[in-house]
Structure 1
């Protein structure tokens, strides 16, 4: 491998793990307004898996796991299967990046050289008054590589004693969670119900909602109940149980739901009149049963979240530096073992986040 090349995982199209190719590619060359980062660690999210599977296509009706099984057996390209538009395959994925700035292009950014940074993966190119957004690793190459180039305004230096792997658990999961809580205006008088509470976004939401002073109930399997309580959950609801009998009808102010699927009707039943339902995902299935009466007769607000609002990422950096949240690193894998890591991720036996570590440039 030459000095101008790096190792990366290139996703070559929609399909199974065979679409993840660990290979040598050119090191990206930053343009004006961009910086080059050496990737120290990169987190794994549902987003990368869903993009590889083409799950965002309107033709897909099932959950992520069933779509993965189908694509492994019979890979099918999905023209509308990307995050925003058609995914620009071949693509280096990797939405979560903890890196170090090794090259700048503008003198104004030279102070960033050598800094350890997190990358704001959700970018708003037309400003925060417009809903347009682009995502690193969905719309352009990301962090499943030794190096990545990004706009300099999207890197945030951070000073803390967390490891690189711990910092790499933050951007996507915690940014998504903080954005939902921000949009739903969660405060200390709210009772918040979090589905999928042991996953990356769910466990982030437990912490971030508690940080706001809310009372929090988390939905998970019984074997993870103790971990949720240690994280701060006031109530743990067993997955698959009757939410109304456990929590009471009209008891919940805010539902933070990235699960959807067959339990969706129960979520509206437990919400108070005037409640807020907020979502940025649907891992248990995107097509749900909605009784409109449960929505309009209770004056419920439905909030969809993808693009992050302007305060979200700076807030997260400050929470970390002030010690107001803690990392939940479930496991680290070498970058070359991405298929193994994603397969284990889909089993949903872990608590927190998985991270990939690329080889050092000299390796």
Structure 2
């Protein structure tokens, strides 16, 4: 089969032929039609990820058709259109993943290929309203957003929500999930165009995080502070989120693109009774609930651009530039 292979740190992805995997006991072979990029793919390419091993096939998100079964796999899966849950070995504790938890694409060979073999319990029926490209944009971003918004922050209908850095796949899916759940959502971005496009997706409004005193101004715009704040940046600006949070508010973050959090005034946290919550990926139950929620509400993940598999390196560079609005997808088979 053809696959995009990474041979070392800082090397470009290149299209090559590799052996087609054979599904082992309890596994299925998925002939992939589309795969989506995540920032972890860029970080692995740059050597900024634990457990590096080369050569490797990146890619955690994928959707396709089950074309072969390993021994003991459910025969009814053959020929089914599916998307893949890339989380492996979460463990028995729903509150946090086990040390053995991994994500498809490293150390296991990933979805930037024509086929991938995965455990049968990791494939889910493709929501009927989604194309393969749209479905491929869902797994990592969808489960991360769902666990952050619902499992960790416990969002309720009618609550006021702030989602920072809208434009990335997880932030956009968090926006779509929260709006569908009946919340009132505001967003931040460094781009006026992204703020306008988020409003078209259901946000009540937004503000540039480059603006002085943006947190205070956004609280005024929203008519009050925020019950739930969803963040992926952390870094020096995290303190502004404390000011934007309502008493008893929940601040959940699933990333730290701006680095460490420092100089947080403890009184702002304990006096306002704030909960600061970390989240990453999700359990099997989170993933199943996410797929069900997307299906019931007919949500469509935002796709920024679709590249053919052979142009995977160009897709990686677009993601690395950070100008995308939504997920970047590789079309593997039309």
TM-score (norm 1): 0.84
The superposition leaves residues 36-71 of structure 1 with CA deviations (integer Å, 9 ceiling, x where unpaired) of 11011000111211222233xxxxxxxxxxxxxxxx
Contact kept in structure 1, 2:25 and 2:72, CA below 8 Å: no
**Partner of residue 99, structure 1:** 64
Alignment of 1:158-307 (within 5 A): 158-182=126-150, 183-220=152-189, 221-241=191-211, 242-248=213-219, 251-283=225-257, 285-293=258-266, 294-307=268-281
The residue that corresponds to 2:52 in the other structure is: 87
Three-state SS of the structure 1 residue aligned to 2:216 is: helix
1:72 corresponding residue in structure 2: none
Matched residue of 2:106: which SS?
coil
Change (3 A) 1:123 1:357: same
Map of 1:21-40 to 2, 5 A cutoff? 21-40=14-33
1-structure distance, mates of 2:73, 2:13: 37
Contact kept in structure 1, 2:37 and 2:328, CA below 8 Å: yes
Task: State how far apart, in whole Å, the 2-side matches of 1:279 and 1:310 are.
Answer: 20
Does the aligned pair in 1 maintain the 2:27–2:73 contact within 8 Å? Answer: no
Aligned 8 A contact 2:36 2:60 in 1: yes
CA distance in structure 2 between the aligned counterparts of 1:135 and 1:334, rounded to whole angstroms: 23
Aligned length: 324
In structure 2, the partner of 1:119 is 84
Instruction: Look up the match of 2:75.
Output: 110
| Contact 1:207–1:232, Cα closer than 8 Å, also in 2 | yes
Alpha-carbon distance in 2 for matches of 1:290, 1:191: 26
Give the CA deviation at 1:118. Answer: 0.7
- Structure 1: distance between partners of 2:17 and 2:312: 15
**Aligned-residue offset at 1:171:** 0.7
1:307 Cα deviation after fit = 4.1
SS in 1 for 2:53: coil
SS in 2 for 1:240: coil
CA distance in 1, matches of 2:60, 2:69: 21
Compute the displacement of 1:359 (Å). Answer: 4.8
From 309, 319, 329, the counterpart of 1:345: 319
2:41 matched to which residue of 1?
48
The CA deviation at 1:107 is 4.4
5+ residue gaps in structure 1? 1-5, 56-80
Counterpart check, 1:136 vs 2:104: yes
Instruction: Identify which range, 291-300 or 28-37, moves more after superposition.
Output: 291-300
After superposition, the CA RMSD in angstroms is: 1.9
* CA distance, structure 2, for counterparts of residue 273 and residue 314 of structure 1: 32
SS of the residue 1:311 aligns to: helix
Aligned runs of 1:317-356 on 2, under 5 Å? 317-356=291-330
Give 3-state SS (helix, strand or coil) of 2:329's partner.
Answer: strand
How far off its partner does 1:160 sit? 0.8
* Structure 2: unaligned runs, 5 residues or longer: none
- Asked if structure 2 preserves the Cα contact closer than 8 Å seen for 1:333 and 1:355, the reply is yes
Which deviates further from its counterpart, 27-36 or 246-255?
Answer: 246-255
CA contact (8 A) 1:190 1:215 kept: yes
SS in 1 for 2:18: strand
User: Against the structure 1 CA distance between its residues 188 and 159, is the aligned structure 2 distance closer, same or farther, given a 3 Å change threshold?
Assistant: closer
List per-residue Cα deviations over 1:106-163 (Å, max 9, x = no partner): 3451100000101111133533446212211133111000010111111001241322
